[in-house]
Amino acid sequence: MSSRRATATGLAVMLAAALSGCVTERAVELVIEPPRDAMGGPAIPAEVVAWEVRVVRLGDDDLCPSADASAEARPFGELADAQSFAAGGASMAIGELPAGRWGFAAMARDEACRPLLYGCVATELAPDARTIVVPVEPVTSSAACGCRACDAGACVEVERVCGD
């Protein structure tokens, strides 16, 4: 990751991906790109205490879920990984992602687990993919964790999918 991008966004999630046919793992970087303030810096609300990242395998015609659906962990796609980490903290590696169509969702939450920023990118992950950029924008939503519990801004069990 270039130092310019690291400074501009402040958020990067490393995905260790052994893509179809490869015998060794390689890193794919997931960059969460927040909106910009008037000075061009990241506009991340001070209330953000946690980030949640969800990676799902999508069908050919699947689109990303709405902010509410993602916040409440409603079913969509095949969940490959979900994690929550403190604002300013680091994420864990996600693991193997074979080539195919994937959805990468990122959400910033406040202390009560309300979503403040959200973005999702549905993309074909090619074997030579190196960086996935997920722009996030402010959202107004009363949705919190769905069937999961809120613990200081993080929905727990983060990997859980809530039923219909």
pLDDT reading at 18 higher than 60: no
Q: C-alpha 138: how far from its chain's center?
A: 14
Question: Whose CA is closest to 153, among 50, 55, 13?
Answer: 50
8 A C-beta contact, residue 147 and residue 126:
no
Average pLDDT estimate for 8-30: 50
Specify the higher pLDDT residue, 47 or 81. 47
Per-domain residue ranges for the chain?
3-37+46-156
pLDDT at 110: 96
Contact of 118 with 105, CB cutoff 8 Å = yes
- Whole-model pTM: value is 0.83
Q: Is the pLDDT of residue 24 over 60?
A: no
pLDDT in tens, 84-131: 999 987 777 776 788 889 999 999 999 999 999 999 999 988 777 778
CA–CA distance, 123 with 67 (Å, rounded to integer)? 18
12 compared with 36, residue with greater pLDDT: 36
